[in-house]
Amino acid sequence: MNNLINTIQYFLFIIVELTILFLGISATVSLILMYVPQKKLKAWLSKRGLWGNFMGAIVGSLTPFCACSTIPMTLGMLNAGAPFGSVMSFIIASPLLNPIIISIIATLMGLKACLLYFSVTFLGSIIFGIILEKIGGAKYVKNSKGETGCCGNTETVFPAAFSQKLKVAFKSAWSDFRAVLIYLLIGVGIGAGIYGYIPQEFIAQIAGPSNPFAIPLAAIVGIPLYIRAETAIPIGLALAQKGMSMGAVIALIIGGAGMAIPEMTMLASIFQKRLVGLIVAVIFFTAVVGGYVFNLIL
């Protein structure tokens, strides 16, 4: 009964939190785009090659978003005509390198661990952004807006008054939210079940230092495990105290923070399944490599 109550509470809390985040961020992006000339915005985001991926990773690392709230920004970047590789670098970097996770790692695990974590994930976001573009991942992008809305049509004439701009921005945000709502409900429901019924001790048991496959197992467990950025590192440290290797802890954090079930299901609303699968593979590979690098260096 306690597990059921915890699961329901978690489900309701995350649904409310993500709804507010999605609508707020989506409306904010739409509102900003009304004040930024489309030519200038495209110039900022249209850097090709390595520099474009670098800029995508930088923007991702500066955004204080949780995993699921990267979707509205992704929609805005796609509708603004940003290069596909830059968008992919942003998607990978944003949940892994947001200031909340970085500051928690620096505080609880030390500066060396923080720099190592940042280096692995930042470099990975650039490399995999380039790879996903080179293999033609852009062809797997769905039509992200059935109606172009306020950020998809460069010829739209926006109202002059701020109050009217705000109304248009929230209308566009609501349209985006309705398109992904079913994916959000399914993803958070599965994540809540995992949160309520899988004990931490079980995860620590199968991902201890005596298991040669501890790091990839931790990454697999972390991918569907929705962990809030504020609690990811303390949970990882608690698991480390129960016997989980530090590399497995990092793999769990990267998997959980980088590709939670809610984000995977929401990505499926704007990307085809093959591209979503490739992004999941990227996060998994980053988690495994990061885990082994942590064990080797620290």
Q: Any idea where the domains of the chain sit in the sequence? A: 2-297
φ and ψ at residue 96, rounded to 5 degrees: -85, -30
What is residue 226's three-state secondary structure? coil
**Quick one: DSSP state of residue 20?**
H
Asked if residues 66 and 99 have their Cβ atoms less than 8 Å apart, the reply is: no
Q: What is the pTM of this model?
A: 0.67
Instruction: Give pLDDT, residue 117.
Output: 92
Instruction: Give pLDDT, residue 268.
Output: 84
**Quick one: DSSP state of residue 161?**
S
Instruction: Give pLDDT, residue 224.
Output: 65
39: tokens are 């030519």
Instruction: Give pLDDT, residue 253.
Output: 83
Residues in the chain: 298
- pLDDT 10s per residue in the chain (298 long)? 677 887 888 788 878 877 887 788 778 877 876 776 656 655 565 667 788 888 888 877 766 555 455 677 787 778 777 889 988 998 888 888 876 677 767 776 788 888 999 999 999 999 999 999 999 988 888 865 543 333 344 445 667 788 888 888 888 888 878 877 886 787 677 767 767 777 767 766 776 667 778 898 888 877 766 555 555 666 666 667 666 788 888 888 888 777 777 677 778 888 988 998 899 899 899 999 999 998 888 7
Please tell me the distance from the alpha carbon of residue 274 to that of residue 255, in angstroms, as a whole number.
Answer: 19
Q: In terms of Cα–Cα distance, which of 281, 218, 284 is closest to 248? A: 218
- CA distance to 147, 182, 209, 253, per residue, from 121 (Å): 35, 30, 23, 12
Instruction: Give pLDDT, residue 155.
Output: 45
Instruction: Give pLDDT, residue 143.
Output: 66
Instruction: Give pLDDT, residue 148.
Output: 35
- Torsion sign, CA atoms 71, 49, 275, 124: negative
**Quick one: DSSP state of residue 159?**
P
